[in-house]
C-alpha cells in the first residue's frame, strides 16, 4: 500500500537505530522500484566507523530534476517501558501514529514517497523531468558514511540536481508555520589553560589555571561575535564544560580545560571564525596566561538558500493547503542540508517537530495527510 500513513507505519516498525538499517531502506526501495524508479543501494565505509547503507532512486532522465532527501536512521528509544505504545509499534491512537522516527523523519519520507507515487499515477507513470530520492541511514550519528558520500557518489555518476526538499520536521507549532532555508554552522573546541601543579599551602610555587580559565571564559563569552545578518540571528559561543581533572582539595591543578560550541552565521567562514576567536584569546591572555584552543573537526558549515522562485513555489503550495504563509527561517541546529547545499538549492520542510527525540514521539495523522498534499502541490507546480 502506498498511502503515507501505511508507509510511515512500515518504516517505524523497522528499529533502525543508527547504524542499523533493520529493513527500512528495503521498504522504500520496493515501493519505488514498483513505480518505475531505478534504484541503487550503496554502502559506504570508513575506518573507525560503522558501514552505512544508503538508497538513491530516480525516475526520469531529463530536467528539471527535483530530489527529496531524508534519513531512515533514528536515535535510540531510551526506556522503552516508558512509552505509551511500543517504541517501534507504529500504532495509531487518538489521531496520532506513535514510534521512534514518526516525526524525525520517517513520516516526512513517507509523505514525499506517497506524493511522488500519486503524482506519477496521475501523469502516466513519468514526470515532466526527473524525481529522485536521496535516503541515508547515517544522519543521527557522525554523518560520515551517509548523505555527504551519497552526493559525491551521485555526482561521480553524472547526476545533477536542480532543487531539493529535505523532509526534516521544520514546523514549530502547526503545519505550515516554517520553512528552513538555511542553517548556522557548528564549530566546537576545547580551551586549554596551562598552569603549574603545586601544594595549595605554597601557591607562590604553583600557577593556578582555574582563575585564569574563568577569566578567559568570561572574555570569550561576553563580546558578541557579530550582530546577525539579513537572514541569520547572531552567532553564539557557549561553554559547556569546565574540568581540571583534580580530585584533591589540597592540590593546585596543572591544567584546566573548557569545552565550547559556536553556532555561527554567514558573517563567518569556519576559518575566519577560528581566527577571530584566536585573536580574542590572545588579547585576553596578554603576556601572562598560557592558553590555546584545540579545534575539533567539523563538517557543519553555514548555508543559505536565498529566497526566490523555488522558495516562492514551496510557500504557495503550503499556503494553498494550510492557509498559512510560512516563515523563512534559519534557526535551529544542523542537518544534512548543509551537504546538499553544495550541489543545489535546498529547503527543509516536514512535520511538526515538537516530539522528536522524546519518549512517545508521535505524528498527527492529519498532519501526515497535510504534508503529503503539500509535497504533491510542490511537484505539480515544479513540473507545470
Coil, strand or helix at 96: strand
pLDDT at residue 332, rounded to an integer: 84
173 assigned to active site: no
pLDDT at 141: 87
Which of 139, 212, 336, 348 is flagged as catalytic? Answer: 139
In 3D, which of 204, 213, 199, 200 has the Cα closest to residue 255?
213
Is the pLDDT reported for residue 2 higher than 80?
Answer: no
Phi, psi of 30, deg, nearest 5: -60, -45
Burial of 62 (0-12, 13-18, 19+ CB in 10 A): exposed
Return all residues near 375 (Cβ < 8 A) that are at least 6 apart.
68, 111, 112, 114, 115, 116, 165
What does the pLDDT average to over 338-356?
A: 96
Indicate whether 72 pLDDT > 70. yes
Find cell 514551496 and name the residue.
314
- Does the CA dihedral 124-127-129-132 come out positive or negative? negative
Across the range 73-102, mean pLDDT stands at 97
Reply yes or no: is the peptide bond before residue 19 cis, omega within 30 of 0: yes
State the greatest distance between any 2 C-alpha atoms of the chain, in Å, as a whole number.
Answer: 85
Lowest mean pLDDT among 153-162, 243-252, 330-339: 330-339
Work out the average pLDDT over 87-109.
97
Mean pLDDT across the stretch 330-352? 94
Judge whether residue 156 has pLDDT over 80. Answer: yes
Residues 259 and 188: beta-carbon distance below 8 Å: yes
DSSP assigned state of 4: H
Per-residue pLDDT at 149 exceeds 90: yes
CA dist list (Å): 185 to 64, 232, 293: 29, 11, 18
pTM for this entry: 0.89
Judged against a pLDDT cut of 80, whether residue 340 lies above it is answered with yes
User: At 1, is the pLDDT very low, low, confident or very high (cuts 50, 70, 90)?
Assistant: low
Contact 192/290 with Cβ under 8 angstroms? Answer: no
3-state secondary structure of 380: helix
**Around 232, how many Cα atoms within 13 Å sit in the side-chain half-sphere?**
25
pLDDT band at 76 (very low <50, low <70, confident <90, very high): very high
Q: Per the residue annotation, which of 73, 104, 168, 266 is the catalytic one?
A: 73
**78 Ramachandran zone, left/alpha/beta (phi>0; psi -120 to 50):** left
**What's the pLDDT band for 115 if we cut at 50, 70, 90?**
very high
Residue 90 near residue 13, CB atoms below 8 Å: yes
294 has catalytic annotation: no
Amino acid at each position: 500500500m502506498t498511502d503515507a500513513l501505511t508507509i510511515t507505519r512500515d518504516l517505524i516498525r523497522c528499529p533502525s537505530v543508527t547504524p542499523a538499517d533493520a529493513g527500512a531502506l528495503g521498504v522504500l526501495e520496493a515501493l519505488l522500484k514498483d513505480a518505475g524508479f531505478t534504484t541503487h543501494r550503496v554502502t559506504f565505509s570508513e575506518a573507525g566507523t560503522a558501514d552505512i547503507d544508503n538508497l538513491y532512486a530516480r525516475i526520469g532522465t531529463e530536467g528539471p530534476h527535483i530530489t527529496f532527501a531524508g534519513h531512515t536512521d533514528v536515535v535510540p528509544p531510551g526506556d522503552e517501558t516508558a512509552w505509551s505504545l511500543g517504541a517501534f509499534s507504529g500504532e495509531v491512537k487518538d489521531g496520532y501514529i506513535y514510534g521512534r522516527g514518526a516525526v524525525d523523519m520517517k513520516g516526512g519520507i513517507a509523505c514525499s514517497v506517497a506524493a511522488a507515487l500519486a503524482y506519477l499515477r496521475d501523469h502516466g507513470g513519468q514526470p515532466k523531468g526527473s524525481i529522485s530520492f536521496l535516503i541515508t541511514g547515517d544522519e543521527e550519528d557522525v554523518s560520515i558514511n551517509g548523505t555527504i558520500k551519497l552526493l559525491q557518489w551521485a555526482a561521480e555518476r553524472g547526476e545533477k540536481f536542480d532543487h531539493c526538499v529535505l523532509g526534516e520536521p521544520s514546523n514549530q507549532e502547526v503545519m505550515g508555520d516554517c520553512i528552513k532555508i538555511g542553517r548556522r554552522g557548528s564549530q566546537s573546541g576545547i580551551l586549554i589553560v596551562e598552569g603549574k601543579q603545586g601544594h595549595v599551602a605554597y601557591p607562590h610555587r604553583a600557577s593556578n589555571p582555574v582563575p585564569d580559565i574563568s577569566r578567559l571564559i568570561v572574555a570569550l563569552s561576553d563580546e558578541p561575535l557579530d550582530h546577525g545578518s539579513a537572514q541569520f540571528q547572531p552567532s553564539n559561543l557557549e561553554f559547556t564544560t569546565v574540568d581540571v581533572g583534580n580530585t584533591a582539595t589540597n592540590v593546585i591543578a596543572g591544567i584546566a580545560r573548557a569545552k565550547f560550541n559556536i553556532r555561527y552565521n554567514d558573517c563567518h567562514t569556519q576559518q575566519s571564525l577560528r581566527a577571530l576567536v584566536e585573536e580574542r584569546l590572545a588579547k585576553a591572555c596578554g603576556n601572562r596566561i598560557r592558553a590555546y584552543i584545540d579545534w575539533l573537526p567539523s563538517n557543519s558549515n553555514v548555508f543559505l538558500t536565498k529566497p526566490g522562485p523555488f522558495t516562492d513555489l514551496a510557500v504557495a503550495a503550503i499556503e494553498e493547503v494550510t492557509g498559512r504563509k510560512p516563515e523563512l527561517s534559519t534557526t535551529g541546529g544542523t542537518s544534512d542540508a548543509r551537504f546538499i547545499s553544495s550541489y543545489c538549492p535546498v529547503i527543509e520542510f516536514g512535520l511538526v517537530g515538537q516530539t522528536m527525540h522524546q519518549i512517545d514521539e508521535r505524528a498527527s495523522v492529519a498532519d501526515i495527510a497535510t504534508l503529503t498534499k503539500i509535497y504533491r502541490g510542490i511537484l505539480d507546480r515544479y513540473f507545470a
